[in-house]
Amino acid sequence: MKRNNVVKRLLGLLVMVCVAMPLCARNAQSWHVIDGALPAAPDYNDMTQWYVQDRDAEADIFYVISTETDDYQLPGSPVFHFADTYNDQVREAYYGEMAGVDYLLSGNLNYYSPYYRQCTMQAFMTDSVLSMRLPLAEEDVSRAFRHYLKHMNGGRPFILAGFSQGAMLVLHLLQEMDSVTYDRMIAAYVIGANVPQRLVDACDKIVPAQGADDTGVTICYNSVRDPSCVVHLLGDDNAVAINPVNWRTDATPATLVTVPSPGQQEGVHPADTLTVRLDPATHLLLVDGFTGTNYVLPLFGKEGNYHTRELWFYREPLRENMALRAASYFKNKVK
């Protein structure tokens, strides 16, 4: 796939976030809290259930994708609330984000991203529904991560990264992680989600990042025009935040020059000059100077909430920072 096509696809996926599509169900399995049809569990011995780019690097990225699926129903079947990882149309949406994020962030690092039965967008409308449905996605991603560690990682240090629903699942992996595995974790990028203080207090593997090159830490941010633009689950109960432009945890502003949207060509379309400042009181990233349109999250987003731009805005600082933290990890291990 040509790089410009990957970027254009990433625009559609990260701006629209969910995709409404007719899907073909596979054999359903029972799940103790599910009221609807259930797609087959992904088999992580099957390489079609992975997006992998092995660059023969000394470190990996394990990336968990965001929500790419809407509720759907086949004739005569219950409603599906989870993605079918064996369906070609679902896989196309997954592949777009997997390949796009790999292109934007990986640099020279190896990249592993599993297909999983994610919750559809409708699960996020209420906390009660999400609490019933998210465990299935957690189970899949936990199985995928265990498989990755045993069969694919080869003992290398790794970066955990996830966006939106994927970020929530990275938090689940951190809560399950043992000390031996944690010792190999370069950092965890929890992008576009809440990391509540109660979770930080309960999990010693969640260590808030304090600068650009500390390791074994968790990086989190949620971007808005102003605090009134925050939405539920995306920064409204967050205790971990850092500015991904200057890597500071205080209110020192940073300047970021970028075209507003992935579909716009750098050097051809006018660039925005953004001022990005962390608000220590709310742990929100306040962004001024954005001129883009068509970015509001479906169903429960609001004007001035930049959730769909979290990866695009900070793609270059994130890519550079992942490489820096990896280098810092190896440097510290040699001491």
Give tens-digit pLDDT for 26-61: 333 333 345 567 889 999 999 999 999 999 999 999
Q: What is the pLDDT of residues 188-211, one digit of tens each?
A: 999 999 999 999 999 999 999 999
Q: Where are the beta strands (DSSP E) in the chain?
A: 50-53, 60-64, 72-73, 79-80, 110-114, 158-163, 185-191, 217-221, 223-224, 254-258, 272-279, 284-288
Q: Which of 70-79, 153-162, 258-267 has the lowest mean pLDDT?
A: 70-79
Nearest Cα neighbor of 42 from 169, 133, 151, 147 is 147
Residues paired with residue 287 on neighbouring β-strands, in sequence order? 276
Task: Say if residue 226's pLDDT is above 70.
Answer: yes
CA 260 – CA 66 distance, rounded (Å):
20
pLDDT at 335: 61
CB-based contact 239:196 (threshold 8 Å): yes
Three-class DSSP category at 132 = helix
Burial of 12 (0-12, 13-18, 19+ CB in 10 A): middle
Q: When comparing pLDDT for 25 and 245, which is higher?
A: 245
Q: Is there a contact between 39 and 117 (Cβ–Cβ < 8 Å)?
A: yes
Apex 89 CA angle, 172 and 262, nearest 5: 75
Domain count, the chain: 1
Q: Which domain holds residue 194?
A: 3-334
State yes or no: pLDDT of 120 exceeds 80. Answer: no
pLDDT averaged over every residue in the chain: 87
Polymer length of the chain: 335
What is d(CA 277, CA 244) in angstroms, rounded to the nearest whole number? 10
State residue 110's pLDDT score: 98
pLDDT of 115: 96
Alpha-carbon distance 94 to 69, whole Å? 9
The pTM assigned to this predicted structure is 0.89
Element (H, E) at 93: helix 88-101
In eight-state DSSP terms, residue 50 is E
